[in-house]
Amino acid sequence: MPIQAQFKPTAVPGIPQPPERIKKIRWKIAVMSGKGGVGKTTVAVNIAAELSRRGYSVGIFDSDITGPNVPKALGMLKVPIYASGDSIIPAEGPNGIKVISMGLMIREGDPVIWRGPLKNKFIQEVLNSVEWGDLDWLVVDLPPGTGDEPLSVMQLIPLDGVVIVTTPQEVALMDVRRAVHMARKMDVKVLGIVENMSYLRCPNGDIVRIFGSNGGKKLAEEENVPFLAEVPMDPEVAKLTDLGIPVALNRPDSEVGKAFQEIVDKILEQLGAAHGKDGEQS
């Protein structure tokens, strides 16, 4: 039997059941990719922003411990996290989005130099201690790759699914395929693939596909998972993200804003949540 066929990540002994506080959140999804810098954090933050725009209560858990970018992307670098008794209270960002991130617990620029076991312990402790309150959605932003943090998150949170982000290049797709396979091996549903930085729209309306064409769509077909949307490369997105302003909230009518609406529509559809927060047609 080929060695790959035998490989199945197994639960680390001693890892407890999902914390009660997590179990009561209605929908829990994670955003991952085998590759760095493809836009996971941008996608996670904007999915959360779009869900909050539709009236859902939303939390984001930034599980990227050594490169926590969610607070910056939500303009929250100076927002503190408080403790109450033995609970951690999430910080509140735009539209009431609740955020837990290592980036809110350390000073800007301070490095976190931790090995895998400590990262796992941190994720476990945080998930046990955070009082999220009544949340409809928890969106988890994962660091690049298929290492410690994705494994811990998939073991500790009963995820409803993962969104996988890629860019169109071959090299990205190769790594992203690993993320699809990891989710499968962990029995987590792949909600679909987002192709980020798919094209650049010129001022005259023409489209330039800088990194190639349809890589994300082809991967989705080959892996038999849904294709969620193409998100164009837009200098405005990079600028607004640096300023901590999520495009989905502030430019919902832009091409990128609409792409995030398409992504969220498809996620809601797949999770049977398409009828809105209170069961009404959204």
| Residues binding Mg ion (CB under 5 A) | 40-41, 69
CB of 161 to ligand ATP, least distance (A): 18
Span of 16-24, 37-45, 95-103, 268-276 interacting with ligand ATP by CB under 6 A: 37-45
Of all residues in the shown chain, the one whose CB is closest to Mg ion is 41
CB of 170 to ligand ATP, least distance (A): 17
Residue at 101: amino acid letter: S
Quote the CA–CA distance of 170 and 19 in Å, as a whole number.
39
Among 150, 241, 264, 268, binds ligand ATP (CB under 6 A): 241
Count residues binding ligand ATP (CB under 6 A): 21
Find the distance separating the first CA and the last CA of the chain, reported in whole Å. 49
CB of 145 to Mg ion, least distance (A): 11
Nearer to ligand ATP, 177 or 277 (CB): 177
Quote the CA–CA distance of 50 and 262 in Å, as a whole number.
10
CB of 34 to Mg ion, least distance (A): 13
Nearer to Mg ion, 41 or 152 (CB): 41
Task: Give one word for 31, left, alpha or beta, with left for phi > 0 and alpha for psi -120 to 50.
Answer: beta
CB of 41 to Mg ion, least distance (A): 3
The two most distant CA atoms of the chain are separated, in Å, by 59
Beta pairing partners, 92: 98
| Residue 38 contact, options Mg ion, ligand ATP, none, Cβ 5-8 Å cut-off depending on partner type | ligand ATP
DSSP alpha helices (H): ranges in the chain? Answer: 3-6, 20-23, 40-53, 70-73, 116-129, 148-156, 170-185, 215-223, 235-243, 247-250, 255-270
Print the binding letters for residues 211-240 with ligand ATP: x by CB under 6 A, - otherwise: --------------------x-xx--xx--
CB of 209 to ligand ATP, least distance (A): 13
Buried b (16+ CB within 10 A) or exposed e, 4-28: eeeeeeeeeeeeeebbebbeebebb
Binding site for ligand ATP (CB under 6 A): 33, 36-42, 64, 67, 69, 143-144, 196-197, 231, 233-234, 237-238, 241
